Amino acid sequence: MSSNTPLVPILDHIVVLVSHKTLLGIAEHIEGQFILAPGGDHADGLTTNRLILLPDGVYLELIAFFDDIDPERRHQHRWGNEVEGTIIDWAFTLPVESDFKIIQKRIGDADTDFFYTDPIPGGRTKPDGTVLKWAVCTSKDAKGDAVAPGSLPFWCLDRTPRANRVPYEVESHLTRHPNGVQGVLSVSVQIPAGDTSNFKRAYDGIFGGQWQYQVPSGFKSSQHSVSLTEGERSIHLVFHGPKPGKVELLPDLLIHIESA
């Protein structure tokens, strides 16, 4: 990447944790609102998912732990202790994995207690047998402990074509949702009081300027933004689409829709 070209994060996906029972019945629950895309089992054997692809190239990952796994293995998983039925995490991506070094340097220069790990390989196999490979980078604090999921975004960097992982263009019929949702307009992150300034500096480092992101489709909006507030740890989205209002993703998870 040219040193004269600003590096702007690309919003990749939003992670929603559900029970395995809920995941098995999710198609019926969202019928008439969203179209469900296939997912697959993850390489660690602990989780499985289904996807909701959006026209802007971002997707929602509905993920569940298998019921019969070792409870201790679940406990040790990054998302193993998160609350089911909620948005638990979110990810950025970049066109080129090597550009992540720029993000790491920005964080290092940001006078914050956080840093990002080097890329860690991951993957899953789709139901049709397609093998997906990527690398994940997560945030840690100065002691080397993992930062609470969702407080800072993680990074999902593709090592196989992203189009295989997120076929929102090739299978565009999967993005034509009955509710008209077109994409993610904004992301709001709440963190407990007391460390706001530290997180703010970290976000300044991630963005290297204004807290705005791009989306994979290239659709541009000045409202593609991230905000940080104090409160009970949580993540909130705003969708954009032609029918402003609210949409129910899960029984206790409503998401606002606004005009872009």
pLDDT in tens, 103-151: 999 999 999 999 999 999 988 888 788 888 999 999 999 999 999 999 9
Three-state SS for 180?
coil
pLDDT of residue 5: 61
Adjacency order of strands within the sheet including 225-230: 225-230, 183-191, 234-240, 253-258, 245-250
Three-state SS for 248?
strand
pLDDT by residue (tens digit) across 41-92?
887 889 999 999 999 999 999 999 999 999 999 999 999 999 999 999 999 9
pLDDT of residue 2: 41
Asked if 120 and 157 count as a contact pair (C-beta separation under 8 A), the reply is: no
pTM: 0.94
- Domains of the chain, start order: 10-258 (3.10.180.10)
Average pLDDT over residues 175-200: 95
List, in sequence order, every beta strand (DSSP E) within 130-230.
131-137, 139-140, 154-158, 183-191, 225-230
